[in-house]
Structure 1
Amino acid sequence: MNLYNTNTLIDEQTGNLAFKLSHFEDSCQFCDTNRHNYYSLIWIKKGRGTAQVDFSEYAFTPDTLFAMTPYQPFTLTEDEPLEGVVLHFHPDFFCIHKHHEQVACNGVLFNNIYAPPMLRVTDDIRNELELVLQQMRLEVQKAEMAQYELLVSYLKIFLITTSRAKAKQQPEVLEGLSDEKEPFILQKLKNLIETHYRTKHSAGEYADLLNISPKALAKITKNYFNKTMTHLISERIIIEAKRELYLTNKSVKEIAYDLGYDDEHYFSRFFKNNAEISPTTYRETVGFARAAMA
């Protein structure tokens, strides 16, 4: 792994990585499955290849930016040598759940189960992102008064800029639909998942609500979301479970019940199978907002 200009802040209370900005000139750090307890923004400036994220595979080219959530498994396989920038930040450094109204990146840049976890870095935002990254590099090396506040301000600018860009690019997911009914079905499916994910956990239940066959629903989700219906439902449940584990002091049993699971142990196995970490470990390493709630 060839890293340079690595700038890292460590949380003195926990010893966890709080903030890290680095350049890379190959993909060795990404060729094995990554599961970090922090958010990762990976800007591929040069090279191309394939990304395996959760249950889906995506091809990428230069000027692709990936946005990964804590413990989201991903692997980057290069077809051409990669070069780029990586920005990591822990939820204790900046929590997108708590600051959603300020940056609006949750559900756009992160935690969008219907769109690839990536966007194109186009000419209209490239210079702005480069400028913000340069300000971050200078600030992280200073260790001066209000360093945290200034770095968070720069991070917010980066997140808002990339979230706006992805929101503009989002309609591309629905391009090329041949059946005029399908855009309506896709939107209705999203609404149904959002309304019923706490109580309806099977693909068949959503097929019934849409009045289509399970086979037809499976084809739609594969074609337009590159995922199975089961994966869509599971990911939405896991996103909510993670939010509850981070933001609240509810017990795992309470969270399980709120999400439609009477058996806490079954829910814990479901969470671990999908997040590849137990709910308890997730809370301990990503944690609910201890400082804010202390």
Structure 2
Amino acid sequence: MDIYNTNTLIDEQTGNLAFKLFGFEDSCQFCDTHRFNYYSLIWIKKGRGTAQVDFSEYTFTPNTLFAVTPYQPFTFTEEEPLEGVVLHFHPDFFCIHKHHEQVACNGVLFNNIYSPPMLCVTEDMQQEFEMILRQMRTEVQKTELAQYELLVSYLKIFLITASRAKTKQQPEALEGTPDEKEPFILQKLKNLIETHYKTKHSAGEYADLLNISPKALAKMTKSHFNKTMTNLISERIIIEAKRELYLTDKTVKEIAYDLGYDDEHYFSRFFKNNADISPTTYRETVGFARAIA
């Protein structure tokens, strides 16, 4: 398979990218910060380096798969030349929220604030991924009946395979599954954030609930999650805000209020500072309600 060709589908209604599969061996492919308005699966097949995703830095080696959500900022800094395959898909092409029960990648591959956005691609997975990508490439070059449905089927298989692998490699990636190496207090913190992120927005409030000092909690979260408490809380709020912007017809003001912000303008600034885009522009470029049509 000549993976270095680019295979792209464009949404005829919106003119936006719907699906794109391409290979790369360009050292500077991701050396600048990227924020795409679609989901990205980036398989680093050769090379090594560091990845900056959101507020955290991760070291990667050959055969690492990254999963990045719309407008999630990321940059790769290579130590050895990179080569790999990239799969982009827009939420309008396949909505991971709507199809969560079918694929179960939301909260595992994507949108897990406690787990690195990456996994190791084993030898067995390499063969399976190559086969699926080969089928995708063949299909995307056709204009035959049910092309969209077949491509979505291949994408689902890819996502399910990757999600299964990640839950085996990182058991804590599966929501509700405690990691034996994770201190009990941090397991409790995760539950508290999930319960209170709409009403409690400061690190101090969670430290009070856990009956420890903010400084001690900050040290634990940085050590275990490679993030600050502010990062964890902000990311959880942004994930829900993005979901609401995409799946509902609520106004930005209504979404802000539901997430504990009385001032719509303050919330919009908070969203832009964390997502690098305004809520309105996010809705316009990622989509709005088409996923439930």
Which interval holds the TM-score relative to the shorter structure?
Answer: over 0.9
Quick check: 1:15 aligned with 2:15? Answer: yes
2:203 matched residue in structure 1: 203
Aligned 1:158-169 pairs, distance under 5 A = 158-169=158-169
Distance 1:184 1:92, change over 3 A: same
* In 1, Cα distance between equivalents of 2:245 and 2:274: 15
Secondary structure, counterpart of 1:273 in structure 2: helix
Q: Is the 8 A contact 1:11 1:17 kept in 2?
A: yes
* In 2, Cα distance between equivalents of 1:291 and 1:78: 36
Structure 1 residue identity aligned to 2:128: E
Q: Which runs of 5+ in 1 are unaligned?
A: none
Q: TM-score, normalised by structure 2?
A: 0.95
Distance 1:176 1:244, change over 3 A: closer
* In 1, Cα distance between equivalents of 2:252 and 2:218: 31
Structure 2 residue identity aligned to 1:53: V
* In 1, Cα distance between equivalents of 2:242 and 2:291: 18
Identity %: 86
Q: Which runs of 4+ in 1 moved over 3 A?
A: 171-177
Residue 176 of structure 1: CA displacement? 9.1
* In 2, Cα distance between equivalents of 1:21 and 1:188: 40
How many aligned residue pairs are there?
Answer: 287
Distance 1:30 1:191, change over 3 A: same
Q: Which runs of 5+ in 2 are unaligned?
A: none
1:110 matched residue in structure 2: 110
Quick check: 1:82 aligned with 2:86? Answer: no
* In 1, Cα distance between equivalents of 2:260 and 2:50: 36
Quick check: 1:34 aligned with 2:40? Answer: no
Residue 244 of structure 1: CA displacement? 0.1
Q: Is the 8 A contact 1:40 1:88 kept in 2?
A: yes
Q: TM-score, normalised by structure 1?
A: 0.95
Quick check: 1:5 aligned with 2:5? Answer: yes
Structure 1 residue identity aligned to 2:136: M
Quick check: 1:51 aligned with 2:51? Answer: yes
1:19-47 superposed Cα distances (whole Å, 9 cap, x missing partner):
00000002322011000000000000000
State the Cα RMSD in Å: 1.5
Q: Is the 8 A contact 1:27 1:77 kept in 2?
A: no
Structure 2 residue identity aligned to 1:6: T
Quick check: 1:91 aligned with 2:91? Answer: yes
Q: Is the 8 A contact 2:21 2:86 kept in 1?
A: yes
Q: Is the 8 A contact 1:92 1:289 kept in 2?
A: no
